[in-house]
């Protein structure tokens, strides 16, 4: 279970109702954007990254992990493998000095390149380009017990990037307060969604790729 201080209280950041669904035009944008990334980026970058991963450590190139999707339904989220194969991958978050992370993996995680295979999840209709980040099933179970209305963030498809991530609420969540901040940012996104906001988040994500991601391990 996550660590919880006695004074923690997850409150919604606005009084407006949470968006129950997003327009089909968002899905159309997701599909076209993801298809372009696959055709013009992944088609040459995947073999390159795959070579570096295989040269450094044994194991698969892609890491598949069950995560919570829309309406809380589990789906396999794809990532480039950034760790040595281990038995704690589905329950333990990456942390500072984590011995499981490979050298290639550290670079992939710092630059968020490990997330690129999730554009395949977008094409499969399991994720959106922008939305609340999907969590491990254990984290969804744990935090739904201590954060009020935590499952509201699962009313839409999870995203490759999101408002919480570009606002600095990413990386390890040592305390429940850390997840509360992420949750409140997700709810703010759902209540204020627009194409303009999505584009702003995509642009901010691109500029942060090579920035000082001190909370990402």
Q: How far apart are the first and last CA of the chain?
A: 21
Distance between CA atoms of 208 and 16, rounded to whole angstroms?
30
Residue found by looking up tokens 């390149």 in the block: 113
Beta bridge partners, 3, equal 175
Distance between CA atoms of 200 and 194, rounded to whole angstroms?
10
Say what the pTM is: 0.87
13 — pLDDT class (breaks 50, 70, 90): very low
20 — pLDDT class (breaks 50, 70, 90): low
pLDDT tens digits for range 201-214? 999 999 987 665 55
**Helix 103-110 and helix 43-56: axis angle, to 10°?**
140
pLDDT tens digits for range 161-188? 999 999 998 877 778 899 999 999 999 9
Spans of all domains in the chain: 24-208
pLDDT tens digits for range 82-131? 999 988 877 788 877 888 999 999 999 999 999 999 999 999 999 999 99
Burial bucket for residue 68 (CB in 10 Å: 0-12, 13-18, 19+): buried
Q: Residue 16 has what pLDDT?
A: 52
């Amino acid at each position: 279970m996550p660590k919880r201080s006695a004074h923690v209280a997850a409150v919604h950041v606005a009084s407006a109702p949470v968006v129950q669904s997003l327009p089909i035009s968002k899905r159309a944008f997701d599909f076209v954007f993801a298809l372009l990334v696959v055709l013009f980026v992944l088609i040459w970058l995947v073999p390159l990254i795959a070579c570096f991963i295989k040269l450094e450590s044994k194991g698969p190139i892609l890491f598949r992990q069950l995560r919570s999707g829309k309406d809380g339904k589990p789906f396999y989220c794809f990532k480039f493998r950034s760790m040595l194969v281990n038995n704690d991958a589905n329950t333990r978050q990456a942390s500072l000095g984590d011995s499981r992370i490979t050298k290639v993996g550290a670079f992939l995680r710092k630059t968020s390149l490990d997330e690129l295979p999730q554009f395949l999840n977008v094409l499969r209709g399991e994720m959106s380009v922008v939305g609340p980040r999907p969590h491990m099933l254990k984290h969804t179970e744990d935090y739904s017990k201590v954060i009020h209305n935590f499952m509201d963030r699962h009313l839409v498809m999870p995203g490759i990037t999101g408002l919480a991530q570009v606002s600095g609420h990413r990386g390890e969540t040592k305390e429940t307060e850390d997840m509360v901040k992420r949750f409140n940012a997700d709810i703010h996104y759902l209540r204020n969604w627009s194409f303009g906001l999505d584009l702003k988040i995509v642009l901010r994500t691109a500029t942060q790729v090579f920035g000082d991601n001190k909370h990402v391990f």
